[in-house]
Amino acid sequence: MKAVILCAGYGTRLKPLTNDTSKSLLPVAGKPLINHIIDRLAEIDQITIVTNSLYYQKFVEWQSHNTFPIPLRILSNGKTNGELNGAVRDMQLGLESIDDDVLVMAGDTLFEFNLPHFVDKFRKSKTTTVAVQKEQDVERVKKANEVCLDGSRIVHFKEKPAQPTSMHTAASMYLIPRADIGSISKFLADPESNPSNAGNYIEWLHTRQPVHAYVFSERRWNIDTLEEYMDVNRLYSDHRK
């Protein structure tokens, strides 16, 4: 199984920390955030990082100072100066030349659930599978997405719902079987599709074929603001004491 980690955002809410450094490379408890992610990627035998032209050289320097037990490649989407390629186009770039099942995830997501359990759920369903948790704060659902389930099958998925009817929300972590990789091109060819957010692809896909959820209760953080970054840094630092 391969992994594609999306690190092409500009982290505008974390400026000036992200003026010339990806938030995925910001230190958390003494080491880059992305190192914590890679430490959790059991069962992965290759990692592709997709970034932009602004941060590409920083990732190359980071790679030169780190040794990982599995192959790791870094790709640039060619965008800079605040230009965005769109997360789904970045997914497509990262998936080029991959002929395998793949974990796609955001490079600002830290998680505590057991990845092998997620993979086991995926292999049993044999469909695209999304990591999902139940939120307690409706405002967080409004800012992210809502997911409605029938058993483990996703029957409704909506990005940034104005009036959520479910408190389940998807993390930016998707297990995609090799048979579904081609559907990303179909999504991008749809004139009504919006490639800006990876969740838009899941919202589109679940209306066309079965998509399942792996529901977890462990903690998960999307580091989107300076406050969230400081909170995670403190929690991870306290854990190491």
Domain residue extents for the chain: 2-240
The 10s digit of each residue's pLDDT in 140-196 is 999 999 999 999 999 999 999 999 999 999 999 999 999 999 999 999 999 999 999
pTM of the model: 0.95
Q: Which residues of 204-220 are buried (b: 16+ CB within 10 A; e: fewer)?
A: bbbeeeebbbbbbeeeb
Q: How many residues does the chain have?
A: 241
The residues, any chain, with a CB within 8 Å of residue 68's CB and separated by 6 or more, are 38, 47
Q: Is 178 helix (H, G, I), strand (E, B) or coil?
A: helix
Paired residues of 49 in beta bridges? 5, 74
**Mean pLDDT over the full length of the chain:** 94
Helix, strand, coil content of the chain in percent (nearest 5): 35, 25, 40
DSSP classification of residue 236: H
Rounded to 5 degrees, φ, ψ at 27 are -75, 135
* Residue 81's pLDDT band (cuts 50, 70, 90): confident
The whole-angstrom separation of Cα 118 and Cα 10 is 29
Options 3.40.109.10, 3.90.190.20, 3.90.550.10, 3.10.310.10; CATH of 2-240: 3.90.550.10
